[in-house]
Amino acid sequence: MKAQGRYMPVLVWGTALLILWEAVSWYLLEWADVPMAQSKLPYFHKVLAAFGTYGGVLAAESWITFTNAASGFLLGAAAGALLAVLMSASKWMERLAFPYAVASQMIPILGLAPIVFGIVRNEEAARTLIAAYITFFPVALNMLRGLKSVPPAALELMRACAAGPWSVYWKLRFPASLPGLFSGLKIAAPLAVTGAILVELMGASRGIGVIMLRNLYYGPSHVYMFWSTVIAGALLGIASYAIVSGLERIAAPWQPEFRNKGGGR
């Protein structure tokens, strides 16, 4: 009953924006006679058309970017989770790695994309590597926070049942860390995709970023195709976030945000 009401505002906003888009587009082209009007804000329906015709190519290239980013993402996530477990188990490890984890957040991570490509001239390896690097530290930090968020009272209860350290991890710390882990994953996922695309801008031969650049440089005649690559890139980012969110619902459904809101006082 309430679900309909929840999606209504979204639909209305979405439609309103699209209408605004078309209106502004028309205004720029027909009324204000702005130079390169269609490059700046092309008609949405024309972009959609180009998206349709161009679809096969876009899908193929997006797939390449996506798979590289995904494998890097999984690699980085696994390594990050491992580091988080190590840091929570050993105070030395935490003291050693934590400052670097925080410091790495200060470095413009995406800025490393060209550098990674410079080192590893192989474009596939570079995509994977940068996605892994981007994912590694946020996952480690967030999962560590989750592992440490266990209330001391819960730990004491476990001790009272004479639970061994492995059980404590598996039955208590690990499930409790899942929300934190997914926080980190959700932050990293779109960034990993972005990193992979950036690598391609430095001179790759396949991938969505390459297509985007190519169409950009061909100028006004390719404007609809360019915009459809932009949409494809945006969809990739949104999709990666959505996939991780979906996984989160399956893996950690008990979280307050997923519960039904209700019950008045």
Q: Count Cβ atoms within 10 A of the Cβ of residue 138 and give its class: 0-12 exposed, 13-18 middle, 19 or more buried.
A: buried
CB of 160 to another protein, least distance (A): 26
Nearer to another protein, 131 or 173 (CB): 131
CB of 108 to another protein, least distance (A): 4
Nearer to another protein, 52 or 220 (CB): 220
How many whole angstroms separate alpha carbon 242 and alpha carbon 189? 9
CB of 103 to another protein, least distance (A): 8
Binding site for another protein (CB under 8 A): 9-10, 12-13, 17, 36, 39-40, 92, 95-100, 105-112, 114-115, 117-119, 121, 190, 193-194, 197-198, 201-203, 209, 212, 216, 226, 230-231, 233-234, 236-238, 241, 262-265
How many whole angstroms separate alpha carbon 148 and alpha carbon 264? 33
Pair of tokens at residue 93: 């490890």
User: CA angle, 243 as apex, 240 and 197 as ends, to 5°?
Assistant: 10
Q: Count Cβ atoms within 10 A of the Cβ of residue 24 and give its class: 0-12 exposed, 13-18 middle, 19 or more buried.
A: middle
DSSP 260: P
Identity of residue 94: E
CB of 60 to another protein, least distance (A): 18
Nearer to another protein, 165 or 220 (CB): 220
Nearer to another protein, 111 or 152 (CB): 111
